[in-house]
Structure 1
Amino acid sequence: MTANDFARKIRGREKLVGYWVTLDAPPATERIARLGYDYVVLDGQHGLIGYQGLLTGLLAIDAGAAIGSGETVGLVRVEANDPTPIGRALDAGAAGVIVPLIDTSDDVARAVQAAKYPPVGGRSFGPTRASLRIGPVPADSNAATVVLAMIETPLGLKNVAEICATPGLDGVYVGPSDLGLALGARFPGDPEIDGPFEEAVELIARTAAAAGIAAGIHTFDGDSAKRRLAQGYSFATVSSDLNHLEGIAAAHLDTARS
């Protein structure tokens, strides 16, 4: 799947399933990318990945896709809503960016401005690796580049309608841990806020659908991803490499000692 294909599917609100990577471990990322996920996200905000790790991670995703289904693209959750990390992630070959801590439509406009070349935006031209995937024509890159805004703060939830209506935004993405904390959770997954949390999750999906953009969400397992897709989300990301590594290692240890 090319970046253009992925952008078309996101904008068409097709059902997509992705995976989350937090470790700077390109051989592991390559193996994940060959499994057939529609996208793999490299976490540049909370992940243990620097810029070199993002670059090699994107190379690993392309390599894994080439020997697997050929249908997987790389995305980056950037560290901040700032032109430098957004531009560098895209220059390194990301098909799109997930931008954290979006509170208002002005925040979205800044993210779009950073991700798109003139006259649409203000991205500096230097597609060091991206030109190999999309081509050097700025208009082609603008058409193929996906911009996703995270809804995870009290203000972001309050302003979700105006955020979804911002020109240039392709979709919103729910960060469940931070959204839960914004709703008063004592810790991520606090069952005491299940009701308000589910109401917020449903509101975000409905609002995005009404605006004609995609709605995505991070989930902690395949069953949860399946449920969210059935609920109206158009894309869902499954857990992370570090969580799965620890969980499987602990399960095998328990089995061996039982």
Structure 2
Amino acid sequence: MTFAEQIRGREKLVGYWVTLDAPPATERIARLGYDYVVLDAQHGLIGYQGLVTGLLAIDAGSALSDREAAGLVRVEANNPTPIGRALDAGATGVIVPLIDTAEDVAAAVRAAKYPPLGVRSFGPLRASLRIDAEPAKANAATVVLAMIETPLGLKNVAEICATPGLDGLYVGPSDLSLALGARYPGDPEVDGPFEEALELIARTAADAGIACGIHTFDGENAQRRLAQGYTFATVSSDLSHLEAIAAAHLDTARS
């Protein structure tokens, strides 16, 4: 079963987030058994060449695992150029940030799909080897996920879910909490409204029959969100884990 089929079938999936342009590290992460690995081209420290080598590393790591990890890209903007380039580089799908309306989603879908479903320019380069060179097959294998992280995105979530061609939602918890009035991500003063928003998003996606994912900061919270009704969850990021483990070893050594 392809990753697109798993997403559209609302299977429970667990992924990982990569912010560093460090292909050997990404390769090691991809062999661990995650269902997908996301390369962050919006806030991560990854340029276009880094996306290409990062996607190559995900494929190489997956070859050493009994579970293939799909390579996804969180693109820098809802624009045909970064969406098309990420897919041309071999991404199985794109996570599109700052979605406010159904019209925003429709634009993202058009950018990710070849005609007649969209306006993606044909020139898949590496994607012709990794996904498929035939436009209809590439369209079927390509996943589009819309980030819900703004006040308008939350308000319009039902209309967003109903947009043809959208495969799922993806919650950005930091920006969503700020949208709800938090002073900083994780502000306990908005815990109540934040949880209500997460429940609304998951329920709305389920009613629409599409996948719903979320970024989490550890495995325990990923497990909690999957139990809550989210169909896929991403665990933390490489840079966060590197810092946390380094600090823990330092504390142990000095104690």
TM-score by length of 1: 0.98
Residue 194 (structure 1) aligned to one of 191, 209, 219: 191
1:250 aligned onto 2:250: no
The one-letter code matched in structure 2 to 1:177 is S
Query: Does 2:82 correspond to 1:80?
Result: no
Matched, 1:230 2:227: yes
- Alpha-carbon distance in 2 for matches of 1:240, 1:113: 29
Residue equivalent to 1:24: 21
2:65 corresponds in structure 1 to 68
| Alpha-carbon distance in 1 for matches of 2:72, 2:66 | 17
- Specify every segment of 5 or more residues in structure 1 that has no aligned partner in the other structure, as ranges: none
Match of 1:48?
Answer: 45
Once the two structures are TM-superposed, the CA of residue 79 in structure 1 deviates from its matched residue by 0.2
Partner of 1:111: 108
Alignment pair present for 1:213 and 2:178: no
Counterpart of 1:165? Answer: 162
TM-superposed deviation, 1:134: 2.1
AA aligned to 1:247 is A
SS in structure 1 at match of 2:2 = helix
Following the alignment from structure 1 to structure 2, what is the Cα–Cα distance between the partners of residues 240 and 152? 18
Equivalent-residue separation in structure 1 for 2:193 and 2:85 (angstroms): 37
Q: Which residue matches 2:93?
A: 96
Higher deviation after alignment, 69-78 or 53-62: 69-78
Please give the per-residue CA displacement for 1:64-118, whole angstroms capped at 9, x wherever unaligned.
0001124111000000000000000000000000000000000000000000000
Q: Which amino acid aligns with 2:15?
A: G
Q: Alignment partner for residue 145 of structure 2, among 145, 148, 156?
A: 148
Structure 2: distance between partners of 1:238 and 1:32: 12
Q: What secondary structure is seen at the aligned counterpart in 1 of 2:63? A: helix
Alpha-carbon distance in structure 2 between the residues aligned to 1:111 and 1:135: 20
| Cα offset, 1:133, TM superposition | 1.5
Partners in 2 of 1:162 and 1:70 — Cα distance?
Answer: 34
Alpha-carbon separation, structure 1, partners of 2:17 and 2:146 = 16
The CA deviation at 1:135 is: 2.1
Unmatched 5+ residue regions in structure 2? none
CA distance in 1: counterparts of 2:67 and 2:128, whole angstroms: 19
- Which one-letter code corresponds to 1:188 in the other structure? P
Tell me the SS of whatever aligns to 1:149: strand
Letter in 2 for 1:198: E
Give me the whole-angstrom Cα distance separating, in 2, the residues matched to 1:34 and 1:174: 25
Amino acid across the alignment from 1:96: G
- SS of structure 2 residue aligned to 1:186: coil
Alpha-carbon offset, residue 240 of structure 1 = 0.1
Shift >2 Å, 4+ stretches: none
Give 1:204's aligned amino acid. I
RMSD, matched Cα: 0.6
User: Which residue pairs with 1:133 in the alignment?
Assistant: 130
Provide the aligned length of Structure 1 versus Structure 2.
255
Instruction: State the distance in 2 between where 1:150 and 1:95 align.
Output: 17
Q: TM-score, normalised by structure 2?
A: 0.99
* Equivalent position SS for 1:67: coil
